[in-house]
Chains A and B, each alone.
Chain A
């Protein structure tokens, strides 16, 4: 196993594993927002704002994984 090969595995694992949690989390965020919109359509504007905010905060975890993966893949760390 060469260093380059290990780097490829590490980069793939970093981005792949980082996608699991946020994937579930984004699903829960949208699930909650859509359920709430269905029950109370008048609150849609406010809910949409918080939905996008929650989506962004959840997705930023995945972005950390992506950054680490890019750093590994291009040999910066």
Chain B
């Protein structure tokens, strides 16, 4: 019954799409305005000049900052409503929240059972924040509803397919739309902040577990030239991790948004649908990869460096991880 109804809703939406397409209500090339950086909406201590803040602005409030605060509030609301009058046998929304947290906890515990209590809060925070911000990037209206900022010369109107589209209220013909909301993970500043926190905490946990001995992983000049070289490589790869963390998340989510926009331009109403499904999967996968990588790097940082036996390094780590995983 439900399946039947869903089919009818889908067919109805497809017919509506075709009608709108014939009427000329669709994207044109002029509407393909993609900005890689977040745009300011409101300038504290200054004023907005087109798409930029004027000089002397204290804090530019960008659209991704607004979305970050919204996502934070939604996370808080989820927990407040999930944990309000908790019961031993969970029902309803509490059940959903518990399942989400427990699934991630069980997976994290299978990676590193010994330090799970220390690592779980940070990794789960990263996971749920990134998951929420990736999913809210796909909500219709985010990244498409906003202020119209004039960029074209006056009189040089964009070529729109029909007058029906141009006659709609709120049509932005002579410029591009600066959206009110932008997904936090599609802003490099947010992902870089998360990457910095993650890599810094990896070092903190490494020092906590091994003391100053953690540094011998990077500066190991006592055991020959080869180990010194490997140590320096480790040091470089630690810095590269920040870039990789930040650009992996930013690249995937931003590229996903660009794909959706381009598909909406190529074949409106129908072609974006399968890509929406793909983006839902990517949203979950990227949140998972970011948090699990943090967890794995943390767990490797807390394992003592097996420098005294030359060949045992890899197998030693493997044995320890396998031992923790099999409990």
Contact = CB atoms under 8 A, between A and B. Distances in A.
B289 to A, nearest CB: 6
A46 B324 CA distance: 9
Interface of A: 42-43, 45-46, 49-50, 52-53, 55-56, 59-60, 63-64, 66-67, 70, 74
Contact of B251 (A42, A49, A63): A63
Interface in B243-268: 243-244, 247-248, 251
Nearest first, the 6 closest Cβ-Cβ pairs linking A and B are A60-B244, A45-B110, A46-B325, A45-B325, A63-B247, A46-B322
A54 B111 CA distance: 15
Given A46-B321, A46-B322, A49-B325, A59 B293 contact: no
Nearest to A66: B251
B36 interface: yes
A56 B248 contact: yes
A60 B248 contact: yes
A70 B247 CA distance: 11
A55 B289 CA distance: 9
Given A53-B293, A53-B296, A59 B248 contact: yes
Contacts of B110: 45, 49
Nearest to A53: B296
23 contacts: A43-B322, A45-B110, A45-B111, A45-B326, A46-B318, A46-B325, A49-B325, A52-B292, A52-B293, A53-B293, A53-B296, A56-B244, A56-B248, A59-B244, A59-B248, A60-B240, A63-B243, A63-B247, A63-B248, A63-B251, A66-B251, A67-B243, A70-B36
Given A46-B322, A49-B321, 8 more contacts: A43-B322, A46-B325, A55-B289, A60-B240, A63-B243, A63-B244, A63-B248, A64-B243
A52 B289 contact: yes
B281 to A, nearest CB: 15
Contacts of B292: 49, 52
A71 to B, nearest CB: 11
